[in-house]
Every structure is written in C-alpha cells, then in structure tokens.
C-alpha cells in the first residue's frame, strides 16, 4: 500500500514532468506544502526527501528545495566499448604527466585532469581543521605508523557503516590518497607478469599502476550505463589466468555510470567462484546526483574485496588522505604500506578526522553533489552547442567528468596538443586504454570555475575539431532518436 508521503511525492513528480515546476524553480516550503495538502510537516519533509533521493529535487543550504536539472534526453551517448580482450602491457602513458602538470600552470584552462576547482571544496572548514590539528604539537611530530590515526580510522569505519558496509576501525589502513590504496591492493594480490582485468576505458592512474608493477592489463568491454560487461568478463576468465579484477562500480572515471546492484552481486559471485579478488575503487561513491548513496561490492556477504577510497574528490586532493579496507589481505597491505613510505602525514589525518567528527561532512556532500550535477549539465549543454555533428556525450550519474566521442577521423592526441598551444588542457582518449584505443575520444572535467573563458575554450575546441573533419553541413547534433 502506498504511504501518504510516497503518494504526495508521486503527485509532485507528475507536476515536475508536466513542466509546472521547471529546473531551477524553488519548490514550496515544507510548511506551505503541509498546509496546502493537509498533511503533517513530517510527511511533507519525507516526500521531499524521497524526491531528493530519486534525483528530482535538491536541497540548497538554508534556502529550501529546488528542481534539479535533468539529464539531456536528446544527446546521443557513446556505445559500449569493444576492446580486443587479450592481456597486454600498458603503453603510451607519457603524456599524462604533462596533462596533470597543466592543472598547476597559471593561465591554462583546465578541462583535462579530474581535479575539482577549489571553489567546489570546503576550503575554510579545512583551513580551520588543519590549524586545530597543527596545535596537537607533540602528536604531529611523530610518525603515525600503519594502519594510521585511530580517530580517523574510527570516523571512516563509522561512515562505512552508514553507507551499509560495516568494517572494524582496525580493518582500515590510511593511505596517501586512493592511488596508493590501489597500488597496495594490486601489490597484495599479484606478482609482476600477472594479468589484471580492468574496465575499458579506465582511469589512467590505474594503467600507470599496472605499468609500474609490471602487470598486464586485460581490457574488458564496458557499457556507459551499466559498467563492466559481465558476459565478456566471464568469457575472459575462462580463457586467461586473471589474478585480480579492478572496477570503479560507482560513477566510474571516465564513463560515469553506476553499476546496478544486481550486476554488483553477479560480479562478486563470478570472481568468487574463481577465487579472484576484486579491487573496488569507490573514490566517487559519495558523489551521486541522486541522493541515495549507491551500494558497494565490499558489503556483499562473502565477497573477497579490497575496498579503496579517498577524500580527494570531496574534501581536498592536496591533503592526500585515502584508505583501504582490504578484508583478508589486511596484514599484507599494512606491511606494504609501511615498506612503501612508513606512514601517511599526521596533520592531514587529524584534520580530516576532526572534519568528519564535527558532522559537517554529510551536509557538505549534499551541497557538492548538487554543484557537480549542475556543472555537468552546464558542460553537456555547452559541448552540445559548440561541438560538431556526430559528437556523442556520456550522461554520468555522479562524479564530474564526461566522456566524449568525436567524429571518427579526429586524432585526440593531436587535438590535445593543439589545444595546449591555445592554453586549453583536455584529456585525450588513448590514455584511458592500455593499448591506446579511443583515438577519437576525449574526457572533460566539468568541475571548473565557470566563466566566459570556458565557453570561449569550448568554442575554440569545437572549431579545431571542425577543421580536422571533412566538411559537413552545420546542422544540429546527433540525437538519441537519430541514433536509434
């Protein structure tokens, strides 16, 4: 039987879908809604929370509820990838250092690296937490040996319990960001020369980790809505001696999909049946556009999962605080962390523990999720306006990057080089593949400070792309209907 609040939520959805409330409109306050509908304030709040969970509206701090920008139903999306499923060493990652250096170069329009502009981050709260941490004079002078500061591990364990994945604080090892967590996970379960199954396209930091550890990448076809193809993975596991599988099931980088719960269960079962550990990268898990936090594979009973995450995309990438909950590989991971760099710096650990303890994290997440959703919508709009016919764009459900398929004859390496001469940084597709596929794709980070320079940069990119393609009539973008 439908509850009162869910009936009320459904009615409001109908009004939003009829266009009576449009994206950006403020919804009636809860008191007004309660008086208008003759329901209690608690029921009105519950209806709004349901709409928030379902991604229809968002709460803005001290200002009420607003209709969220909906995804662009008419923009065509790239199809599932179809890499050749055969183990291969990683090549072609040299350009990446140049790309990430651009993020710190003044005057460069930074659309390349997936690093949020500081305007998205709670810089003041971090500053205060850091100065409080710095006052613990004797404590911060010492190594905080693995597994890391107990107060931070306690806060992380609390947060993981809140997202449905209870772990003991002693099962958490603090790392220098998610990148170190991923490397520790790979080192714990593989030897040089082993084969690791990965999503394709995938985050280039993972490819560099495989490269530096002498591991071979087995690129698995991946769908921009549902993630790793479980059928292709199943066949690959029959054929190749895979020692680990890495996935970013929640808002992957660069595709932005959220793997459905049923797929997560099937993925875990498939790997478990063959005794293969899953390295789960959940660095974007807190950044979904619908307010309901997606599930994690690590929470599935019996799963052999090394769970890796960090605060780089939510609080600060510069503090370099991440963690790993490696399950049965704990002892090995702790030892490898110690060998790697003895400890993670103490001050940032204490500062993040302080921030989490003060309870502001959840409130901040609500705000930043809305900010990233708006940034993505705005970027998709602008790319749609400036890029030529045939351009396809992903519709991420979280995070802040978009993956763009350009006309077939575009060489995105060349485009990135040309763009850099005009002080624009973009990420070319081949760096997301072990074997330099995705030549006509680019990834764009949407979490930039938006001003007219961004529009100008996108217009310039659009011009460069047009110059590289055969002349085509200036008509509208390919639409999903066209693609059907």
* Among 81, 110, 179, 344, contact with ligand PLP (rule: CB under 6 A): 179
- String marking each residue 208-247 x if it binds ligand PLP according to CB under 6 A: ----------------------------------------
444 neighbors 398 (Cβ within 8 angstroms): no
Question: What length is written for the chain?
Answer: 484
- 248 sits near ligand PLP (criterion: CB under 6 A): yes
**Judged by CB under 6 A, which stretch of 71-79, 174-182, 452-460, 465-473 contacts ligand PLP?**
174-182
Which distant-in-sequence residues (6+ apart) come within 8 Å of 191 by Cβ?
A: 243
Burial of 420: CB neighbours in 10 Å, binned 0-12, 13-18, 19+: middle
Residue with tokens 């990057």: 401
DSSP 429: G
Query: How near is the Cβ of 54 to ligand PLP at its closest, in Å?
Result: 26
- 253 sits near ligand PLP (criterion: CB under 6 A): yes
Task: Extract the tokens encoding 95.
Answer: 């350009």
* Among 69, 217, 232, 283, contact with ligand PLP (rule: CB under 6 A): 283
**Judged by CB under 6 A, which stretch of 172-180, 346-354, 359-367, 440-448 contacts ligand PLP?**
172-180
* Among 200, 312, 316, 435, contact with ligand PLP (rule: CB under 6 A): 312
* Among 310, 316, 344, 349, contact with ligand PLP (rule: CB under 6 A): 310
Q: Which residue is nearest to ligand PLP (CB)?
A: 177
* Among 281, 286, 405, 468, contact with ligand PLP (rule: CB under 6 A): 281
- 306 sits near ligand PLP (criterion: CB under 6 A): no
**Judged by CB under 6 A, which stretch of 123-131, 177-185, 428-436, 442-450 contacts ligand PLP?**
177-185
Residue with tokens 């660095």: 283
* Among 147, 285, 322, 428, contact with ligand PLP (rule: CB under 6 A): 322
Task: Extract the tokens encoding 55.
Answer: 């991604």
Site for ligand PLP in 187-206 (CB under 6 A): 203, 205
DSSP 250: B
| 107 Rama class: left (phi>0) / alpha (psi -120 to 50) / beta | left
- 65 sits near ligand PLP (criterion: CB under 6 A): no
Residue with tokens 């594979």: 297
Helices 230-239 & 261-273, crossing angle to 10 degrees? 10
- 250 sits near ligand PLP (criterion: CB under 6 A): no
**Judged by CB under 6 A, which stretch of 176-184, 233-241, 363-371, 442-450 contacts ligand PLP?**
176-184
Helices 4-18 & 41-53, crossing angle to 10 degrees? 60
Q: What are phi and psi of 53, to 5 degrees?
A: -60, -35
- 317 sits near ligand PLP (criterion: CB under 6 A): yes
- 178 sits near ligand PLP (criterion: CB under 6 A): yes
The neighbour count for residue 465, using CB atoms within 10 Å, is 23
**How many alpha carbons fall within 13 Å on the CB side of residue 153?**
20
Q: If binding means CB under 6 A, how many residues of this protein chain bind ligand PLP? A: 14
In three state form, how does the secondary structure of 68-105 look? CCCCCCCECCCCCCCCCCCCECCCCCCHHHHHHHHHHC
Which residues in this chain contact ligand PLP in the complex, by CB under 6 A? 114, 177-179, 203, 205, 248, 253, 281, 283, 310, 312, 317, 322
């Amino acid at each position: 039987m439908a509850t009162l609040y869910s009936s009320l939520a459904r009615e409001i959805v109908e009004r939003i879908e009829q266009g009576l409330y449009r994206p950006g409109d403020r919804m009636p306050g809860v008191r007004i809604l309660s008086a208008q509908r003759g329901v209690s304030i608690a029921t009105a709040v519950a209806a709004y929370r349901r709409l928030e969970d379902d991604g229809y509206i968002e709460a803005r701090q001290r200002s009420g509820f607003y209709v969220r920008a909906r995804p662009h139903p008419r923009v065509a999306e790239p199809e599932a990838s179809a890499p050749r499923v055969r183990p291969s060493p990683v090549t072609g990652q040299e350009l990446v250092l140049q790309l990430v250096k651009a993020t710190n170069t003044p005057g460069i329009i930074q659309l390349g690296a997936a690093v949020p502009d500081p305007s998205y981050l709670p810089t003041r709260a971090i500053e205060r937490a850091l100065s409080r941490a710095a006052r613990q004079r004797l404590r911060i002078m010492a190594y905080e040996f693995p597994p890391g500061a107990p107060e931070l591990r306690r806060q992380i364990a609390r947060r993981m319990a809140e997202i449905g994945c209870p772990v003991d604080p002693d099962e958490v090892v603090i790392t220098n960001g998610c990148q170190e967590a991923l490397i520790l996970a790979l080192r714990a379960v593989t030897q040089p020369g082993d084969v690791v199954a990965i999503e394709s396209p995938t985050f280039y930091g993972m490819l560099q980790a495989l490269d530096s550890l002498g591991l071979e990448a087995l690129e698995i076809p991946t769908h921009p809505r549902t993630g790793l193809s479980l059928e292709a993975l199943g066949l690959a596991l029959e054929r190749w001696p895979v020692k680990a599988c890495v996935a970013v099931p929640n808002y992957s980088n660069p595709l932005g999909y959220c793997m459905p719960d049923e797929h997560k269960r099937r993925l875990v079962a498939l790997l478990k049946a063959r005794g293969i550990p899953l390295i789960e990268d959940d660095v974007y898990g807190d950044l979904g556009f619908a307010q309901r936090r997606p599930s994690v594979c690590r929470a599935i009973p019996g799963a052999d999962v090394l769970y890796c995450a960090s605060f780089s995309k939510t609080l600060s990438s510069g503090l370099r605080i991440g963690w790993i909950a490696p399950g049965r590989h704990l002892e090995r991971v702790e030892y490898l962390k110690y060998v790697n760099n003895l400890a993670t710096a103490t001050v940032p650990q204490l500062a993040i523990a302080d921030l989490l303890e003060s309870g502001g994290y959840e409130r901040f997440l609500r705000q930043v999720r809305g900010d990233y959703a708006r940034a993505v919508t705005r970027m998709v709009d602008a790319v749609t306006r400036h890029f030529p016919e045939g351009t396809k764009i992903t519709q991420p459900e979280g995070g802040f990057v978009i993956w763009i398929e350009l006309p077939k004859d575009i060489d995105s390496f060349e485009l990135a080089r040309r763009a850099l001469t005009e002080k624009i940084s973009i990420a070319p597709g081949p760096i997301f593949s072990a074997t330099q596929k995705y030549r006509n794709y680019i990834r764009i980070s949407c979490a930039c400070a938006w001003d007219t320079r961004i529009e100008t940069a996108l217009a310039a990119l659009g011009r460069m792309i047009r110059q590289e393609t055969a002349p085509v009539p200036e008509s509208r973008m390919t639409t999903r209907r066209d693609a059907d």
